[in-house]
Structure 1
Amino acid sequence: MEKLKFAVVDLETTGHSPEKGDRIIQIAIMFIENGTLTNEYVRFVNPNQRIPVFIQELTDITNEEVENAPVFEEIAQEVYDLLDGWIFAAHNTNFDLTFLQKEFERCGVKRWKGKQIDTVELSKILYPSAVSYRLKELTEELGITLSSAHRADDDARATSSLLLRCIDKVKGLPEPTLTLLHKRSFTLKSDISLLFYLALVESRRVSDKTNLSLFRGIPFRQAERLQQLHPRKIAFPTTQEAKDQLLNQAYSTYESRNAQLQFMDAAWESLRTGTEIMVEVPTGIGKTISYLLPAAVHAIQTNKAVVVSTYTNHLADKIIAEEIHTVSTALSVPIHVVIIKGRSNYISLSKFAEMLLSGESTYDNTFTEMQLLVWLTETLTGDVNELNLSGGGMLYIDRIRKRNSRLAEDEKDIDYHQITLENCKYADLVITNHALLLSDGPSKKQIVDETSGLIVDEGHQLIHAAYKTNEIIFSYTNWKYVMGQIGSESDDQISRRIEKILVRKMWNRSRTRTGLSEAFESFSIAFDHAIQELSGSNSIQRGHLKGSRLHVALNEIPADQTKFQEVFQTMNNFIEKAIAYVSPLDHEIESLSSKEQAILAEWHYWINELRVKMSEWIELFLENGSEGTVWIEQDQRSVPGSLTVIKSPINSAEVIRKALESFILKERGIVWTSGTLSVKSDERFVARQLGVDSTVPVIKLLAPKHFYTGAQIFIIEDMPDIQQVAQAEYVEEVAEAIIQTVMVTEGRLFVLFTSQDMLNKTHELISDSGLLEDYALIAQGISSGSRYRLLKSFRQYEKAVLFGTNSFWEGVDVPGNSLTAIIVVRLPFSSPTEPVFKAKTAQLNRMGKNAFTSYALPEAILRLRQGFGRLIRSSSDTGFFIILDRRIETKSYGKKFLEALPDVPVKKVSLARMVHELNNCYNK
């Protein structure tokens, strides 16, 4: 490995397309020999054109710096000669090498030939859990110095360090892992196979000292098993002085707050007496530690864990990372904590082993297998959410998730999910998510049976989770994908591989094969006719247009029910024939090779997937009398590919109380907590949707008086009335307000929308204007990545604006000056055509209730409160809450929104006046 010579290259250019006239403005080459950086070549290049302003901002390279530099024609041959005979490496060779080759061609220099290593591709394999593979973020995560991102010299040095770090990691992998990686590395886009080969040769020379276990030849790190802790004597602190003393041990800057101590007492009393309470806790009083501390004491005293349910897996992980050490320090005892998620969050080692044997060789599959092989040498949880995968990678992961509790004999003592469940017996705190809490199955039953209480954090989110976890979703593209896996006649597809096994065993019968093909064709035809019935209906053409996406209730479509029945009948017939087709192999499975058994297991996997889909089909299209609302979504630009049918429950309370029945019957304490559990005009609005009995108190704690002194609310008076103007006109005014606010605050703000369509149009208008080209415009639904990744990007850029829809109104935490303002584009009412909202309001109207005042208004008020809660996270924070929707001033219900917000100054001003006031604030 040390004998390899790398030339690590980075280019800065005027743009991405040399064909359109873009040119190099800086080139850097770092030369690595014997594992050491030995030489550097760094040159500015005159592009013979002005450098675009945004490129100057990005790279900090000015026109003056390149004015006297050589043009690339003068140094092209010199650069070629320097690279000749070296392995070309770059962080995205597809850009740097491709651009360089085009420039060589333009300058009359021959095309460079040689091996190449792409550190993006390499780092994705070796660091499969990295948050981002952009050079700046990746090097920051790995602790590699990158002084000035987007300067060729600094980027090339950082890439060199990254390459050497990757090589060291390759050399440290166990021999069986290297063997499996090397075998798969020939399908990669760069010559990474060379690294795996040399590391494998070296590994075979020395004895492998790995402490990893093997499962069917796959090295993996076993999950840790908890042991029973020695008895710990501990008492809950009953006086203020005792509580302050405990928290002083945990926090060097602890400040006593009455609300925090009141919450601790309330949580303790609920757990101790087995009663239910709801506690609305203001931001900034230390809510999490306030329930974890009494929960830990109660668990230790009863020798049974307390369950803590959070809305997201990320929040569950965050509690472990940031809070548990604090609890242990405060109580001066060790605390055992287990995070448990639904079993489909965990890898099935046996399914992965089968996939490795089955031999599918697409790039996405092979690449994901390589990532998993490295990840298994590191993970202690087996939680696939740790992985950062491509879309194709997620499809692969879906095939190796743990779907049921059955375990192979050699898997029983090592299964990650099973070990996590067993660890719950020895845990003081079991951290889970709302989805698992709402589920029904042996995992949840085991958790409930062995615990002594429940704390539901972000309790109001259980309402949304109740709808989401009980949704049934039909996706045309997903169905076609599954049908393609089992029905394709291509040589590398599963049906052909099964046929080859049957031929080898002399069990292949042409009549059986023909019958199977005819059954699949009948199923496909019936399916296509049913889809035509749905997507081609005149009713759906008249459906509600949301952007270019249509929404229409299924019961509004005059569909021919016999078409849906035919799909069920032909699908059932095909499944029966598909099972019979491989029955000779099932009966003689011991006579098959390991690879053939894996192929047979994959056949059964896809048949089971079809079985699941058949059940969904029945519930969506054939059980018309079942509870819930069913609707169709379809993008008119992509028919029928975008067709989706969704069924959701209407009544969240019934779903939630059924899920919590075992806690209630066993008289275990339940503590509901959130920053928003009530509405001033309807104290029990949230409680009713959660199904909480009217006798359960809602305790509302208050923030310290000085907590919101740094906040101001602005209502912009000269915005057009959103209900009186066309959307395009309103979007123009919104874009102008955003641009002016960003320019004076220098970014660091959220723009909150209620519609993805309006977000898209506003973002497009601002981007096209070029007025904010110096800012990172991060937009949900446009910028790639999850909510968590978008938030991380927002924190990393000093000049950033984040455009978010519903999920950014709450549950995101940006403390300090990273967030200085929030712009509310419109009051957060649900769209009246949103299917669940529409069904819910229709139900209320049938009951003789006013759906607007009893549901739509309090729901919107809660969401606005949650949005405001993003702004002020501590008493030292300052920030501006800017409302563009004038209905908060002009409508009679507007004052209810303002009454629900904290008591902070409200200013009704023009946009120009607000900008002037903000400018004065920032100048101070």
Structure 2
Amino acid sequence: MENRYVVVDLETTGNNSKAGDRIIQFAAIVIEYGEITYQYSSYVNPERPIPPFIQEFTGITEEDVKSAPTFKEIAPYIIGILEEAVFVAHNVLFDLTFLQAELERVGYEMFLGYTVDTVEMAKVISPRMDSFKLEDLSRAYGHVHDCPHQADSDAYATALLFLDFYKSLKRLPRQTLKSLYRLAYSLKSELKEVLGEILREQAQVCEPWRPDLEIYRGLALALPRKATEASVIPRAKSDIYDFIQEVYQAGGTAFLEDGKGTFFDHLLACHDFAKKEGRQVLLSTYRELTGKALDAHMPGLSVEELKQGSNYLSLPKFEQSLRQRDHNYEVAMAKMQILVWLTETVTGDINELNLSSAGKEYASEVAHHQHLHPRLLKPWTERDFYGRRLKAAQSASVILTTHEAYVNNMVSNDYLSKASYVLIEEADSFPAVLKEELGYEISYMDMRNIVNKVGNLDNYQLIHQAVKLVCEKTEIQIDKRQLDAMLIRLSEQIEHFAEVLIAYGEAKAALTESQMAAIKLPRRRKNVLPIYGAANDLRQTILYLMNLFQGWAKELNGIPVEKLKRSQLNMMDDWMKMHGQLTRVHDGLGQMFIKPGGKNDTWIEWNKRGSRNSLSIKSKPIAIAEWMNKNMVSKKNILFISEVLAIQGSFRYFASKVGFMEPDERSIIVEPDVSAKLTIIQDACLEKAVGHEMVFDCAKGFLANLIKQKKGNMIIFFNTPSSLKKMYLGLKETIEKNGYQALVQGLTSGSGSKLLRGHMSAGKSVLFMTYPAWESVRHLYDGRSIKIMLEAPAVSKQLYISETMHKGQPEEKEMLLDMSFNIRRQLTAKIPGREQSGWLLYEEPILRANRQFLAESLTNLTVINYDRDAYL
């Protein structure tokens, strides 16, 4: 290690030095020759009060800093420590910027050396890590971090991680390090200095042979692990095992409510049937299951995972992408993460990576897709991730996939759609996934991005390059003036389409306190002629561009492949991929506006403050039963299994949702070993409540008292974003006064998983979330919060659509069935963690009026009724 590294951490009175915030603790760890050689820390008297929330957050009190030196007194010492050193910190821009401002304030020169950010290092070295927070990284790397948010402890934890990351970088193959070094110039810190130092060290010795890696075409790739003969661990055959065998022997459709959740019994039964009968069974789940989990529970089984092609990295596309110079920070970081990940992954599944939003967009550009030219794939055929997975799946007894991948395969008639024996695990989630995948979503920003990528004839984007290639290699005559006019028209039509949609929405929506608006579009065309006209004009222009791309590709495909460069084949590949994106928009507009047929609900959503940039048009089928009948009932032998499928001992409700008649003689219910507990809060306030506002006030009063009296974390669930935000605004003052942190879906930045992790790591937190958002993250939850269903989950309310979309409500019995089914789903879902801090259901008026029905519906649950005041 050539350089001298100083790891720094600060605690401050706030985030803005220009607004008068000051340092209250400074810590530095010196690293030389790969070891910690010196440690320094000191409280700092900020010469002003420390805000109460900072005292609570850091544990540093006014008393701690009362007799501490001022920053001016320790500044010379800090300058001495940092002299000729590389400045290292976790989120280095904050610490360095604050320190620079303080040095300047007391009359010293600012630090001008190199910087290294351990957040950037963590993202590169551990691209699959769920979180890059200091505490989470320390835990993952086995370090004890006793006092988070105190500078001495944070600096020491960061120093240990820096040493770990440095060692990990040294273990990377030289080819990967060289590629990382080139990309590191686009980072915010000087990680290139660390990489350069390591490369100089490695240049003096021979690179050791790595039996787990191969270097191919400039990329270091993990070699697939050789299959080992493993004997299947004998397992007792259960009644469920026998039932599954009988179902597939007889054929047709069956239902199983397995309260015990014995997934591996289901898998073993499928596997044994497939082996015995020489068949293949497809097992679809809502959540992804990894090969590691299968190997741990059931080694030796012939089971392979297979997802959509777009889940897998395309090595030819990534190879080409690496050759392109790109100064975009997020893209450079994503490339660096993928380079390191390629030395580890044998699946090539991009979902293994923890990428930023922009990183995910880049990954989608280099993902596998069906338009890849054979010549581009040829050098990579044996190493193609999707090709490997498909080949392995074709010879397996059981294919394991997700509902999303299976439905996509059904729609596109790909390999998974050919399976005739199917087990739908976690079947309670299947209808919602099917609706989502059969629907369309077109956002204004998606359409603008298409226009930006296509470009025009004066820049060097897709259309310019395509025209140049076509003119060079073919005799096609292109009317550039007409093409330019078409591109201008496309951009104008997108703007006009967005304008008429928002104008309609603002005319219909009662835009009160809610930022988000969601307005259903009527199916009768005469009521919204401007929208239909704008959609049709836009669709026709998109079709013209689609035909143009397709015609050019057809002409170029007739040219001998040896006369085209790889870069030109990549360009053709790019515009055929763009053809696919245009097709998606074209077909979506057709479903929504040209031939709606009354089978879909179509609505617009936008943020009042974000205006058209937040605009999206969505469409989902009202029901999936017809599609299921057409595509699955007559063609498949299907078994639906979940912990919740029945209502009042009958599968009739769920069977009707998925288009099947209930086969009573071929369905069983297995009760759970331990029943989940639900506390129903009965509020006398509701007896006098008339109308939505009075019901809202009663619920708000209950929650306010709950927040005042309970000390633990809480998660409050809602059907719609509008009701969620309204309740949060009503409780905001109470939450703050009682020392809670509020995390609010749609208002607090970050994804659902980020919000949930922030909630679980907070001391006192209230998380506001809708049921659809919870569905995708609940498997990450540790089980320790009070969970309050303020609104009973109801499919019939079109969960994620504002209530203003519906003039009338569904039949009361249908809504009650939805509520009962979904209440059971929430309580019986397996959540990691041993603790359960309880589920509460606030009894809204429709439930009060149907208590007997609800009691009979919530089977296999322990239900306790509490008067509100008695509970509090």
TM-score, with normalisation over the residues of structure 2?
Answer: 0.88
Deviation at 1:759, TM superposition (A): 2.3
Match of 1:434 in 2: 403
1:670-703 CA-partner distances (Å, limit 9, x unpaired): 3322222122296411111112233354422223
Q: Among residues 515, 539, 556, which one is paired with 1:568 in the alignment?
A: 539
CA distance in 2, matches of 1:91, 1:233: 46
Q: Among residues 486, 493, 501, which one is paired with 1:534 in the alignment?
A: 501
CA distance in 2, matches of 1:889, 1:291: 36
Match of 1:277 in 2: 254
Q: Among residues 829, 841, 858, which one is paired with 1:883 in the alignment?
A: 841
Residue 150 in structure 1 maps to residue 149 in structure 2: yes
Match of 1:473 in 2: 441
- Once the two structures are overlaid, the 10-residue window that deviates more, 768-777 or 408-417, is 768-777
| Matched residue type, 1:881 | W
Judge conservation of contact 1:45–1:70 (CA < 8 Å) in 2.
Answer: yes
| Matched residue type, 2:282 | V
| Cα distance change, pair 421–655 in 1 and its aligned pair in 2 (3 A) | same
1:799-851 CA-partner distances (Å, limit 9, x unpaired): 44433211366687689994353212122335757699999999xx9xxxx94
Residue 212 in structure 1 maps to residue 243 in structure 2: no
Deviation at 1:324, TM superposition (A): 4.9
| Cα distance change, pair 100–493 in 1 and its aligned pair in 2 (3 A) | farther
- Equivalent residue runs for 1:161-180 within 5 Å: 161-180=160-179
Deviation at 1:372, TM superposition (A): 1.4
Deviation at 1:542, TM superposition (A): 0.9
- Once the two structures are overlaid, the 10-residue window that deviates more, 33-42 or 685-694, is 685-694
Match of 1:822 in 2: 787
Q: Among residues 500, 514, 520, which one is paired with 2:487 in the alignment?
A: 520
| Cα distance change, pair 49–869 in 1 and its aligned pair in 2 (3 A) | farther
Unmatched runs of 5 consecutive residues or more in structure 1: 238-242, 244-260, 329-333, 916-924
Q: Among residues 315, 336, 355, which one is paired with 1:389 in the alignment?
A: 355
Match of 2:767 in 1: 802
CA distance in 2, matches of 1:879, 1:510: 71
Match of 1:131 in 2: 130
- Equivalent residue runs for 1:199-238 within 5 Å: 199-208=198-207, 209-210=209-210, 211-224=212-225, 237=236
Match of 1:294 in 2: 269
| Matched residue type, 2:822 | R
Match of 2:824 in 1: 865
Match of 1:25 in 2: 24
Match of 1:921 in 2: none
The residue matched to 2:327 in structure 1 has which SS?
coil
The residue matched to 1:632 in structure 2 has which SS?
strand
CA distance in 1, matches of 2:270, 2:566: 49
Q: Among residues 289, 304, 311, which one is paired with 2:286 in the alignment?
A: 311
- Once the two structures are overlaid, the 10-residue window that deviates more, 563-572 or 12-21, is 563-572
Judge conservation of contact 2:406–2:417 (CA < 8 Å) in 1.
Answer: no
- Once the two structures are overlaid, the 10-residue window that deviates more, 35-44 or 556-565, is 556-565
| Cα distance change, pair 871–733 in 1 and its aligned pair in 2 (3 A) | farther
Match of 1:348 in 2: 314
Residue 617 in structure 1 maps to residue 589 in structure 2: yes
Judge conservation of contact 2:281–2:423 (CA < 8 Å) in 1.
Answer: yes
| Cα distance change, pair 492–204 in 1 and its aligned pair in 2 (3 A) | farther
Q: Among residues 735, 743, 746, which one is paired with 2:711 in the alignment?
A: 746
Match of 2:851 in 1: 894
- Equivalent residue runs for 1:759-798 within 5 Å: 759-764=724-729, 766-769=731-734, 771=736, 774-775=739-740, 777-797=742-762
Residue 648 in structure 1 maps to residue 623 in structure 2: no
- Once the two structures are overlaid, the 10-residue window that deviates more, 147-156 or 432-441, is 432-441
CA distance in 2, matches of 1:751, 1:430: 37
Q: How many residues align?
A: 859
CA distance in 1, matches of 2:23, 2:301: 57
1:164-209 CA-partner distances (Å, limit 9, x unpaired): 2222222222222222222222121111122222333344444442
Match of 1:251 in 2: none
Residue 378 in structure 1 maps to residue 344 in structure 2: yes
Judge conservation of contact 2:45–2:71 (CA < 8 Å) in 1.
Answer: yes
| Cα distance change, pair 873–120 in 1 and its aligned pair in 2 (3 A) | closer
| Matched residue type, 1:363 | Y
| Cα distance change, pair 607–357 in 1 and its aligned pair in 2 (3 A) | farther
CA distance in 2, matches of 1:444, 1:95: 51
Judge conservation of contact 2:756–2:781 (CA < 8 Å) in 1.
Answer: no
Match of 1:250 in 2: none
The residue matched to 2:528 in structure 1 has which SS?
coil
1:603-636 CA-partner distances (Å, limit 9, x unpaired): 4433443344333333333334484333333333
| Matched residue type, 2:653 | F
| Cα distance change, pair 233–813 in 1 and its aligned pair in 2 (3 A) | closer
Residue 907 in structure 1 maps to residue 865 in structure 2: yes
| Matched residue type, 1:747 | G
| Matched residue type, 2:354 | N
CA distance in 2, matches of 1:694, 1:43: 72
Match of 1:266 in 2: 243
| Cα distance change, pair 569–169 in 1 and its aligned pair in 2 (3 A) | same
| Cα distance change, pair 442–896 in 1 and its aligned pair in 2 (3 A) | closer
Judge conservation of contact 2:455–2:464 (CA < 8 Å) in 1.
Answer: no
1:208-249 CA-partner distances (Å, limit 9, x unpaired): 42443345422222445758x69x799985xxxxx5xxxxxx
| Cα distance change, pair 509–462 in 1 and its aligned pair in 2 (3 A) | closer
- Once the two structures are overlaid, the 10-residue window that deviates more, 553-562 or 175-184, is 553-562
Judge conservation of contact 1:751–1:802 (CA < 8 Å) in 2.
Answer: yes
Judge conservation of contact 2:318–2:366 (CA < 8 Å) in 1.
Answer: yes
Judge conservation of contact 1:752–1:808 (CA < 8 Å) in 2.
Answer: no
Judge conservation of contact 2:735–2:741 (CA < 8 Å) in 1.
Answer: no
Judge conservation of contact 1:512–1:581 (CA < 8 Å) in 2.
Answer: no
CA distance in 2, matches of 1:117, 1:609: 39
CA distance in 2, matches of 1:501, 1:4: 49
CA distance in 1, matches of 2:401, 2:75: 59
The residue matched to 1:460 in structure 2 has which SS?
helix
- Once the two structures are overlaid, the 10-residue window that deviates more, 797-806 or 748-757, is 797-806
The residue matched to 2:307 in structure 1 has which SS?
coil
Judge conservation of contact 1:711–1:881 (CA < 8 Å) in 2.
Answer: yes
Judge conservation of contact 1:778–1:803 (CA < 8 Å) in 2.
Answer: yes
Q: Among residues 810, 814, 819, which one is paired with 1:855 in the alignment?
A: 814
CA distance in 1, matches of 2:551, 2:652: 57
- Once the two structures are overlaid, the 10-residue window that deviates more, 787-796 or 686-695, is 787-796
1:571-618 CA-partner distances (Å, limit 9, x unpaired): 344455567789998758756655555455434433443344333333
Deviation at 1:754, TM superposition (A): 1.5
| Matched residue type, 2:353 | L
The residue matched to 1:643 in structure 2 has which SS?
strand
| Matched residue type, 1:177 | T
Judge conservation of contact 1:226–1:423 (CA < 8 Å) in 2.
Answer: no
CA distance in 1, matches of 2:337, 2:79: 34
Match of 2:97 in 1: 98
| Matched residue type, 2:320 | E
Deviation at 1:279, TM superposition (A): 1.6
| Matched residue type, 2:825 | Q
CA distance in 1, matches of 2:94, 2:831: 42
The residue matched to 1:533 in structure 2 has which SS?
helix
Judge conservation of contact 2:518–2:805 (CA < 8 Å) in 1.
Answer: no
CA distance in 2, matches of 1:192, 1:490: 37
Judge conservation of contact 2:8–2:95 (CA < 8 Å) in 1.
Answer: yes
User: Could you tell me the percent identity over the aligned residues?
Assistant: 25
- Once the two structures are overlaid, the 10-residue window that deviates more, 149-158 or 647-656, is 647-656
| Matched residue type, 1:289 | F
The residue matched to 1:558 in structure 2 has which SS?
helix
CA distance in 2, matches of 1:604, 1:815: 38
Provide the alpha-carbon RMSD of the alignment. Answer: 3.8
Judge conservation of contact 1:8–1:156 (CA < 8 Å) in 2.
Answer: yes
Judge conservation of contact 2:270–2:281 (CA < 8 Å) in 1.
Answer: yes
Match of 1:13 in 2: 12
| Cα distance change, pair 441–878 in 1 and its aligned pair in 2 (3 A) | closer
Match of 1:401 in 2: 367
